[in-house]
A and B are shown apart, each in its own frame.
Chain A
Amino acid sequence: MKLVRNADPTICVACRGEWKNVIENLVYIVYAATALGAVALFVGLPRGDKPQRNGLLFICMALAAGVSYFLFDAILGSSDGKLPLIVLSLLSIGGALRMVTHPQPVYSALYFILVILATTAILVLCGAEFLGFALAMVYAGAILVTYVFVLMLSQQSTLHSDAFTQGFDYDREAREPFWAVAAGSLLAATVGAVIVERDWGGIEQVSVEGGENTVALGRILMTQYAISVELAAVLLMVAMIGAIAVARKHIPHAEDLTRRRPLGAAGREAKPY
């Protein structure tokens, strides 16, 4: 793995002086994108019996996507191959928005898979292949299957019932949409503004050649983080046992029943004819 420190100054506008002029505008662009996204979320959240305003939602999402495209484009400057990165970022954020707003939980899970796959592609683009593929396997492969399992076990509705056509009423009504959207978007806008505003200095680029990322990551995990890896394994096992202990259904065995009966009381509970 070789580090290229500021290989080409033009690939990152953020590193150079001209950045200062762009910053103030960029902060407002971050605010605008977050505000549009917040409006989209507010409009799109399910509201009881009122029909969902999908048209307005998609218009707001498209506007937010346009503004975000402009933002990412300005940040990335003239680096090559930026279009896939931008498109995948927008896909990921859009999928997350739709996941939160969709009134049917199964569709939420599917949109979550979309977010995972888009993030995976972003990570692969940025040279973090191992983490990306681990993400796809663990999330889209394992965790999501568990979620869908639990969903299908616990949200059964009979055909032609209200719940079948329109979803359960607790899925159709959001709780405190205004304040939640305000809090979350304020949080995202503040963090985004800080990220854009700060001069991160020279950006060191990890240049990765085929498969080297996995080797390097394995080496660092097995040396520097060896104890943490072991602890993570222990944690997984403890969580597995805990999940079994929490979720098991208590079914009394025949032995338990017989043992609980006191001596000499064998036929007492039999009803007299």
Chain B
Amino acid sequence: MEMAAPQVLMIVGALLFGIGVIGFLTRRNMIVMFLSTEIMFQGVLTNLVGMGLLRGDLNGQALGIFVLVIAAVEAGLGLAIVVMLYRRRGTLDADGWRTMRG
């Protein structure tokens, strides 16, 4: 299968990353904020695969696997923190933690 897809992949990656940034900034629910970071990971991964196709080797996809690992780690730790915060405050609202500002 041959297709000149790298640029489309990279544009999709950029758009997904932008949407993820917007979601992270606007949503107040901590879980949706973490979902938005996952969307950003998606964008980076798509971009890496596109770049790899552009180079013509598999380095991009190998890096994509590591992005996957980091995303899994982030999800696990992030959700653990969310659960801990929820136990203390009883809400998922990120604004419930305003007192943490320095």
A residues bordering B, Cβ < 8 Å? Answer: 1, 3-5, 7-8, 11-12, 14-15, 30, 34, 37, 41, 45, 71-72, 75-77, 79-82, 85-86, 89, 92-93, 96-97, 99-100, 105, 108-109, 112, 115-116, 119, 122-123, 125-128, 130-131, 134-135, 138-139, 142-143, 146-147, 150-151, 153-155, 168, 170-171, 173-177, 179-181, 183-185, 187-189, 191-192, 195-196, 200, 203-208, 213, 216-217, 220-221, 224-225, 228, 232, 235-236, 239-240, 242-244, 246-247, 249
**Is A127 in contact with B42, judged by CB distance below 8 angstroms?**
no
Main secondary structure of the interface of A (DSSP, over half): helix
Give, as a whole number of angstroms, the nearest-CB distance from A241 to chain B.
10
The answer for the CA separation of A122 and B16 in the assembled complex, in Å, is 14
Chain B residues with Cβ under 8 A from A216's Cβ? 58
Give, as a whole number of angstroms, the nearest-CB distance from A97 to chain B.
6
**Which of A79, A204, A236 makes the CB contact (< 8 A) with B3?**
A79
Chain B residues with Cβ under 8 A from A109's Cβ? 35
**Which of A14, A142, A146 makes the CB contact (< 8 A) with B4?**
A14
**Is B76 in contact with A239, judged by CB distance below 8 angstroms?**
yes
Chain A residues with Cβ under 8 A from B76's Cβ? 146, 239-240, 243
**Is A171 in contact with B3, judged by CB distance below 8 angstroms?**
no
The answer for the CA separation of A41 and B18 in the assembled complex, in Å, is 11
Chain B residues with Cβ under 8 A from A116's Cβ? 42
Chain B residues with Cβ under 8 A from A125's Cβ? 1, 3, 5
**Which of A154, A225, A228, A235 makes the CB contact (< 8 A) with B86?**
A154
Chain A residues with Cβ under 8 A from B59's Cβ? 220, 224
**Is B68 in contact with A134, judged by CB distance below 8 angstroms?**
yes
Main secondary structure of the interface of B (DSSP, over half): helix
**Is B8 in contact with A85, judged by CB distance below 8 angstroms?**
yes
Interface residues of B in 31-75 (CB under 8 A from A): 31-32, 34-36, 38-39, 42, 45-46, 49-50, 52-59, 61-62, 64-66, 68-73, 75
Residue among A4, A79, A131, A239 facing the most chain B CB atoms (10 A cut-off)? A131
Q: A14-B4, A180-B25, A236-B72 are in contact. Are A122 and B11 (CB under 8 A)?
A: no
**Which of A154, A192, A204, A205 makes the CB contact (< 8 A) with B92?**
A154
Chain A residues with Cβ under 8 A from B29's Cβ? 105, 168, 170-171
Who on chain A is nearest to B78 by CB? A243
**Is A203 in contact with B4, judged by CB distance below 8 angstroms?**
yes
Q: A85-B8, A154-B83, A247-B80 are in contact. Are A96 and B39 (CB under 8 A)?
A: yes
The answer for the CA separation of A1 and B61 in the assembled complex, in Å, is 14
Give, as a whole number of angstroms, the nearest-CB distance from B17 to chain A.
7
**Is B25 in contact with A207, judged by CB distance below 8 angstroms?**
no
**Is A142 in contact with B72, judged by CB distance below 8 angstroms?**
yes
**Which of B22, B58, B71 makes the CB contact (< 8 A) with A100?**
B22
**Is A246 in contact with B80, judged by CB distance below 8 angstroms?**
yes
5 smallest beta-carbon distances between A and B, as pairs: A188-B18, A204-B56, A184-B22, A180-B25, A12-B4
27 contacts between A and B (CB under 8 A): A8-B2, A11-B2, A15-B4, A34-B18, A76-B3, A85-B3, A99-B35, A108-B32, A119-B45, A126-B49, A126-B50, A131-B68, A134-B65, A139-B38, A143-B72, A150-B31, A173-B28, A175-B26, A180-B21, A188-B14, A196-B11, A221-B62, A224-B62, A232-B66, A239-B72, A247-B80, A247-B81
